[in-house]
Structure 1
Amino acid sequence: MSIEPLSVAPSPVPVAAPAATLMVVPWHDPIVDTVGFDVRSNYVELFWLNVLGPTATWTLRRLVTGLDRYPLGYELDLAETASMLGLAYSAGTSNSFARALQRCQLFGMSQAVPGGLAVRRRVPPVAARHLSRMPPQLQAMHQQWRVREYTLNDLERGRALAEVMMAAGDDPEVVERQLLAVGVSPAAAAEATTLATHRGAATA
């Protein structure tokens, strides 16, 4: 049985009490879990790092690494984890590790739940309000990332459809026209048809 987050609105991270440990559980979000990015991905390193800062980003990665080993949740030793990350920690919120946890929560990477903290294993795309504060070079990189991601998705969709049509006996010209008809971009339709043709020839 998973522990569901109470609200998206930030609440104080439950580390102010002198407790030595914190229960960490996965934050289940069907939408973000489907379309989001792994916290250790290049996307997070390139773009979320600018928003979260390096300390919170590494803290988030460490929390999620624990969930890889204990998918249902685990008990986090606060002082030990802070020490492993090279951060100061003492009971209360006026220390670098507690501030990193709070920053993760402030930007929606984690959320207080009864008895602990729910943490995202995948994170959403950076919001427009955060992008607008990034350096121009980083904004341009994000735009290029979005275009590349869309193109790759379009190509993969086109290739899958083309292979099905090729297997049904359609000619390459017919396949490419059909891909265009269902909304695949011209460049992706041409490339997908070529890939499917080569695959069909290799398996013949």
Structure 2
Amino acid sequence: MVMENVNKPQLWNIFNQVTMQSQDVRHHRFCLRLMLKNPDNHALCVLNGHNAFVSGSFKHALGQYVQAFRAKPDEPLYSLCIGLTFIHMASQKYVLKRHALLVQGFSFLHRYLDLRGACQESFYNLGRGLHQLGLLHLAIHYYQRVLELPPLTLEGIETDQTDLRRDTAFNLSLIYQSSGNTRMAQKMLYTYAVV
């Protein structure tokens, strides 16, 4: 169905849901071959970027995300994907220009924050990127901003599903636990994560 209707986003959403559930990676090659026949297909471009990112081919993922970004520069998702790709590239063991990668990564993450606006999701993603790099004092700042904001309200989705305070509290508890502040780690978990 996808091959016959390449420009139907609904079919790509279903295709993505099915392939996420399977542990098989043959769909990666299928998407790459289909991209050769349909080089301007936006959904394939992003899907190939995600496949490359998950496989650890960050340079290929970056190329796909940049292509999507050029087509729709005001879409916050593409700025997020590019920023995270740069951060993952900078996190690798053997990197020549780590500082330049980090600067580019955080410039795209801040662009994402500007496009997405101040909400739990954007602050959580920025905090998570800083947390991954070990910049814990900065990650704490963004995580605390998440805890101050209410969850997003989306039509047809329970507020409990969009609330990131539990995830944020867990990440904060890990930071506090690693620094030896077990009391603060417990407070975070008791306040936000206990059901």
Alignment TM-score, normalising by the size of structure 1: 0.29
More strand by share: 1
Which is greater in Rg? 1
Alignment TM-score, normalising by the size of structure 2: 0.30
More helix by share: 2
